[in-house]
Amino acid sequence: MYAHRISEQRYTDIWYEAGEELVVYVDLIFLTNLCIDGALIGLTAWMRKTKLVWWRWLLSSIVGALYVVMMFVPEFDFMFTFLIKFGLSLVMLFIAFGFKGLQVFMRNLGTFYVINFVAAGGILGIHYMLQSSGELFNGIWYTASGGMSFDLKIAFWFTFIVFFAVLFLFKAVQSSKRKSDRMTTYLGQVQVYIDDVTISCTGLVDTGNQLTDPLSRLPVMVMEVSLWQDMLPASWKGRLKEEAPDNLIMELDQEDFRWQGRLRLVPYRGINKGTAFMLAIKPDLVRVTLDQMSFETTKVLIGLDGGVLSSEGKYRAVIHPELVQDAASAQSTALSAGATEKPLNVV
């Protein structure tokens, strides 16, 4: 779908322009456009979450690359019109994806053109960004009727390299958006009640979190200790992340802490870590709101984590799936292997 004129190349075809020879590599143009069309079709399939058959993918790319080669055959000048180009894109998509209904086909077509426009816009944007003001104005000329035109000259290898760089960046952005959208499905509002204190934050339902207290068999919901900083002993500030919680509890003999009877030590094992203890608090009530449904329970422990659960700050608690069993069972468990940045396993 892309045409390139290349000088300084092996003999294949010769154009004459203003008395000068312009040698063009038709085979190189074919191979590069084969890669470009293949990347466009592949990214379209990825965006549409469709699995490609390899021979359909290859055949569709070959058709698109052959069309560019036709520009060197004078007899095929009539093919370089809008209708022919649009028709060719329909043929390429039909070969690659087949026809599974008009709605599906139109969505494939729209996605294909969006990716093409993103790639073309990225190439032009980077091209003009790297130009100096002198180079930019040298490419502008005025017509006799008062109009203004632009003389666009972009190097072949620049186009080829930037094209794939733009597609890579586009895919990375889309992957990040997909991950964020999936995570949003598992986010809920958490409220913890102890005496007259209420702690609220956003929590992530982690279907892979099976952390429970081995003695009481109560599920453990992990929260960042910074949420509880004002309620904990002043001497604990900043120490829970570095020191063992049992050592901190030993210091309570000399301090007045009204929730001392609520403290628990829960054994756990993190990834690439040995067995350790997590400091936990027994609340009066925990309320979790997920998908406009509210879940309340008193049979839960609140584990205090000294670090940051989400580097992006999207959530500050990891909700045990038992607390929202109905909602968790209705959703996919695709995130169970790595939904949180600090997965926990029962010892």
Last residue of a domain, one of 143, 166, 181: 181
Residue identified by tokens 């203004």 is 148
* 144 found inside a domain: no
| Segment 24-64, tens digit of pLDDT | 677 788 888 888 889 999 999 988 888 899 999 999 999 98
**Are residues 303 and 248 located together in one domain of the fold?**
yes
**Are residues 162 and 277 located together in one domain of the fold?**
no
* 269 found inside a domain: yes
* 285 found inside a domain: yes
Note whether 194 and 284 are within 8 A (CB). Answer: yes
Average pLDDT on 83-107 reads 90
Position 330 confidence tier, pLDDT thresholds 50, 70, 90:
very low
Residues identified as active-site: 206
Q: What is the pTM of this model?
A: 0.51
* 159 found inside a domain: yes
**Are residues 198 and 304 located together in one domain of the fold?**
yes
For residue 276, pLDDT beyond 90: no
DSSP code per residue over 30-63? HHHHHHHHHHHHHHHHHHTT-PPPHHHHHHHHHH
| Segment 100-121, tens digit of pLDDT | 889 889 999 999 999 988 888 8
**Are residues 95 and 46 located together in one domain of the fold?**
yes
**Are residues 208 and 338 located together in one domain of the fold?**
yes
What pLDDT is recorded for position 325?
74
Cα separation, 332 vs 77, in Å, equals 53
**Are residues 176 and 241 located together in one domain of the fold?**
no
Average pLDDT on 309-337 reads 68
**Are residues 95 and 232 located together in one domain of the fold?**
no
Question: What is the radius of gyration, based on Cα positions, of the chain?
Answer: 31
Cα separation, 334 vs 347, in Å, equals 23
Number of folded domains that form the chain: 2
* 139 found inside a domain: no
Domain ranges, residue 29? 13-133+152-181
**Are residues 52 and 102 located together in one domain of the fold?**
yes
Note whether 213 and 266 are within 8 A (CB). Answer: yes
Cα separation, 295 vs 286, in Å, equals 8
Two tokens, residue 202: 């956003």
Position 181 confidence tier, pLDDT thresholds 50, 70, 90:
low
For residue 286, pLDDT beyond 90: yes
**Are residues 174 and 284 located together in one domain of the fold?**
no
Q: Is 88 helix (H, G, I), strand (E, B) or coil?
A: helix
Cα separation, 40 vs 90, in Å, equals 14
**Are residues 228 and 166 located together in one domain of the fold?**
no
For residue 128, pLDDT beyond 90: no
* 234 found inside a domain: yes
